[in-house]
């Protein structure tokens, strides 16, 4: 098994599938965090969780840009603008929506999730969804506790993994290695055939010599001598 560190590429024998996965280390990569100010008592905690997760992944503070927007509805626009700059390996989207008495909750939640997905697909930059959609303040706070259970932390971890997942490059490397392996096998077959051919020609020559009564260099020399004209005295 050959493992490519950068992309998490694992090459196995041809009877097994090729597994591609990102890594948990984001050192040297730049990330944008788009945070909605609406329900700030929750989104501040999500932001803190995301920053802690990035630091744990080896991302330095100067490689992180935090973008503040009014609410979850505005997240997709800011996320797309950040991605189009071409500086960021991934964008982390954080917000909090708490269900109220009207259908406003459903409209904003749908627009935010769809908008973030569309922005990611349009730019080709991974964007992770850390927008809470809860029924109460208590549910929201439960998902913004410090540590790995914080949804901001989870979104940041997912962003690092997606930023280090290079499917195109990994598949290209896989194809190259397969071609090399096939080429090596072909060369081995050619060498084997050449050796087999030489061995066959050698056996045929020995057989012909035996039929002619010649079994070695001395006998061939003697036969040549017998065939030469005798010297005159």
- Does the global pTM surpass 0.75? no
Same domain, 124 and 187: no
Residue 199 lies in a domain: yes
Same domain, 143 and 105: yes
Residue 18 lies in a domain: no
Same domain, 145 and 182: no
Asked if residue 75 lies in contact with residue 34, where contact means CB atoms within 8 angstroms, the answer is yes
Same domain, 48 and 160: yes
Same domain, 61 and 140: yes
| pLDDT score at 229 | 53
In this predicted model, what pLDDT tens digit does every residue of 166-182 receive, in sequence order?
Answer: 877 766 655 444 443 44
| Helix, strand, coil percent values for the chain (each to nearest 5) | 55, 15, 30
- Rg (C-alpha) for the chain, rounded Å, is 35
Catalytic annotation on 104? yes
Same domain, 71 and 122: yes
Provide the domain limits for residue 70: 24-165
DSSP calls for 71-115: SGGGHHHHHHHHHHTT--SEEEEEEEEE--SSTHHHHHHHHHHHH
Could you tell me the two tokens for 136?
A: 């109460």
Q: How many domains does the chain have?
A: 2
In this predicted model, what pLDDT tens digit does every residue of 185-229 receive, in sequence order?
Answer: 445 445 455 555 555 565 555 555 555 555 554 444 444 445 555
Percentage of residues of the chain with pLDDT beyond 90 = 62
Residue 13 lies in a domain: no
- Classified as helix, coil or strand, 118 is helix
Catalytic site residue from 12, 104, 188, 210 = 104
Same domain, 71 and 142: yes
Asked if residue 132 lies in contact with residue 46, where contact means CB atoms within 8 angstroms, the answer is yes
């Amino acid at each position: 098994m050959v493992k490519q560190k950068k992309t998490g590429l694992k090459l196995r024998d041809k009877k097994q599938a090729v597994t591609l996965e990102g890594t948990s280390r984001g050192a040297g990569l730049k990330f944008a965090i788009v945070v909605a100010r609406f329900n700030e008592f929750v989104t501040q905690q999500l932001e803190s969780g995301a920053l802690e997760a990035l630091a744990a992944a080896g991302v330095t503070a100067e490689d992180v840009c935090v973008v503040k927007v009014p609410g979850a509805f505005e997240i997709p626009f800011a996320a797309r603008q950040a991605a189009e700059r071409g500086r960021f390996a991934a964008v982390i989207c954080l917000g909090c929506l708490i269900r109220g008495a009207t259908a406003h909750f459903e409209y904003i939640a749908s627009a935010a999730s769809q908008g973030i997905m569309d922005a990611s697909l349009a730019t080709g930059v991974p964007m992770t969804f850390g927008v809470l959609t809860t029924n109460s303040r208590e549910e929201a706070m439960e998902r913004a506790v410090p540590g790995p259970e914080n949804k901001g932390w989870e979104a940041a971890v997912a962003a690092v993994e997606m930023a280090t997942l290079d499917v195109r490059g990994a598949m290209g490397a896989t194809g190259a290695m397969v071609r090399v392996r096939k080429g090596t096998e072909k060369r081995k077959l050619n060498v084997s055939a050449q050796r087999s051919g030489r061995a066959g020609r050698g056996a045929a020559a020995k057989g012909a010599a035996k039929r002619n009564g010649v079994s070695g260099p001395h006998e061939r020399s003697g036969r040549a001598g017998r065939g030469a004209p005798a010297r005159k005295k």
